[in-house]
Amino acid sequence: METEADLARRTGDPALYAYYFRSVGLTNLVFLTITPTLYAFFITFPQYWLQLWTEAGGSTWFYTTGYIFISIMSWASTCAQIWCLLIRLAPQSGWRLHERLLHIVTSAPLSYFSQTENGSILNRFSQDIQLIDNQLPSALQTVVVQILKLVMQVILLCVAQKWLAVSLPACIFVLYVIQRVYLRTSRQLRFLELQTRAGVFSSFLDSIEGLETIRAFGWSEAVRRDNIRCVDDAQRPEFLLLCLQRWLNIVLDLLAAAIAASVLAIAVALRGHVSGGQIGVALNIMLVVNTTLLKLVKVKHFRTWIRPKIGLPGDKSISKTSAHPINPDLSMSDDLITNAISKAGLASHFVPGNTQLSGEAANFAEHPILDQKLSLFKELSVGQCQLFGLCRALVKVLSLRGSGVNPVILLDEITSSLDTLTESIVHRVIDEFTHNGHTVIIVAHRLGALEVKPGRDTVVLMADGRVQEVIRDLGPDTFQNLAKIA
């Protein structure tokens, strides 16, 4: 599968183009064909019209009027294709693709959001949609216009000087070799650029969502370094792509100069058989033809980046070992802890208490037999979301216990948005797990959220990212002192 994906990344996937054309619509495709055809004809024909004018010698009024008419029609066809692009094609295709992306993401199961980074999803709604709205329609129009212009220019070249048309296959072969090297590289660099941008978004989101924890544990410097690394990684493909484009410009300019020099050499060798007007028109058309070919090479292959379906990987085993050195004092750096948690897959075992669930995701997570649409009910409050998250965590604990595992339960601000009655119920549930042999760790900023049991529970005071005091002897006086300190 990885080999096929890498090959598709280098050579492109024809199914993506068909998918985009379906989003554009048949009517817009007809407009996209007619208006560039008229533009290509009226922008190319004046060169041959000038040759007829110079060879005729008379009837200046007729040729002047004809030249003005061709120029007006060229301007009108230009306006028509811009109208087709900006008013019809780009808004309709962008709206359809955005609607499909939104439907796919909102219909995805909860496991997809657990396994996919938020930055990747945000990147699809920002960078990918921006490419679809801005760059993709103009790139498609450029390809169509340049192909039609090339056809018109080849026809005029064959009419003006047939012997120059013999050199076109050689030019096309050289440009094919150049574009094969350029496009295979630029497409992968573009893909890497989009991927690394998703890492930047993920870094920003993680920093914003965990700002309080980062400051409390003194992780600001580590997070800043990670953010700089993500930004630096995102800039590398863009810089390499700019270098590749500069290389392409040099190669294509040298090729155009070589073709112009070849045409002049042939004209000097055959100066007794061709007229000056024919040489001028042939040289002009030849350079324009090569310019058109160069523009076709410069147009990078575009991708829609939206699949009609989302492929979700299967469940992965979590039985991994983390080979990280641990010193006798049980102290590890923040980066080492973060990498260990990431590699061990522990993030999938955390259930957020403030998760905003979509209708189908909440339906799946709560009970599989419910057929009613949850969108018909009122939105859950913050406290209800906390209880919902606690229920999901309890189900996870029970499923692990059934497989013979006795997990440690970590609760972060589990009663921060609950009333007194509901808070007491939550504490009773916690007591049941402690009686069953589970170790429960409760993170709280207010002492009222803790119901400590003397002789069994332990309180750890933390400040400035460090452990300040560990209290195991919990009596009534100790708890009152803690309340005064807080």
pLDDT for residue 10 is more than 60: no
- pLDDT cut 70: percent of the chain above it: 64
Which pLDDT band, with edges at 50, 70 and 90, does 62 fall under?
A: confident
Sorting pLDDT into bands at 50, 70 and 90, what band is 41? Answer: confident
DSSP-derived 3-state class of residue 12 = coil
Residue 197 CA to residue 180 CA, distance in Å, equals 26
The C-alpha atoms of residue 253 and residue 349 are separated, in whole angstroms, by 58
Q: Does residue 142 register a pLDDT over 70?
A: yes
Residue 238 CB contacts under 8 Å (≥ 6 apart), including other chains:
193
Q: Is the pLDDT of residue 333 over 70?
A: no
Q: What is the pLDDT, as a whole number, of residue 237?
A: 84
Burial bucket for residue 434 (CB in 10 Å: 0-12, 13-18, 19+):
middle
Q: Distance between CA 452 and CA 328 in Å, rounded?
A: 30
* Number of residues that make up the chain: 486
- 253 vs 221, residue with greater confidence: 221
* CA–CA–CA angle 225, 226, 232 (5° rounding): 90
Per-residue confidence (pLDDT) for residue 7, from 0 to 100: 54
Q: Are 198 and 117 in contact (CB under 8 A)?
A: yes
3-state secondary structure of 221: helix
Task: Inform me whether the pLDDT recorded for 70 exceeds 80.
Answer: yes
Between 456 and 145, the higher pLDDT residue: 145
Is the pLDDT confidence value at 243 over 80? yes
The region that residue 22 occupies, defined by phi over 0 for left and psi between -120 and 50 for alpha, beta otherwise, is alpha
What would the mean pLDDT of 81-101 be, rounded to a whole number? Answer: 85
Q: What is the average pLDDT value for the chain, to the nearest integer? A: 70
Query: pLDDT tens digits for 282-293?
Result: 556 555 655 555
Cα–Cα–Cα angle for 228, 10, 1, rounded to 5 degrees: 90
179/408 Cα distance (integer angstroms): 58
Q: Which residues of 462-480 are buried (b: 16+ CB within 10 A; e: fewer)?
A: eeeeeeeeebeebeeeeee
The pLDDT value given to residue 153: 75
The per-residue pLDDT for 484 is 57
Instruction: For residues 324 and 446, give the distance between their C-alpha atoms in angstroms, rounded to a whole number.
Output: 35
Q: pLDDT tens across 418-460, in order? A: 777 777 777 787 777 777 777 778 777 666 556 655 556 777 7
Enter the DSSP assignment of 410: E
Residue that the structure tokens 């997570």 belong to: 365
Catalogue all structural domains in the chain, each as residue range(s) with its CATH number.
2-298 (1.20.1560.10), 351-451 (3.40.50.300)
Cα(285)–Cα(289) distance, rounded to whole angstroms?
6
Q: In percent, how much of the chain has pLDDT > 90? A: 0
**pLDDT value of residue 227:** 86
pLDDT digits (tens, 9 = 90+) for 206-232: 888 788 888 888 888 888 888 888 888
User: What dihedral angle (degrees, nearest 10) is formed by the CA atoms of 340, 343, 348, 349?
Assistant: -40
Q: Which of 113, 129, 145, 122 is nearest to 34 (CA)?
A: 145
Q: How far apart are CA 229 and CA 223, in angstroms?
A: 10
* Mean pLDDT of the region 325-353: 45
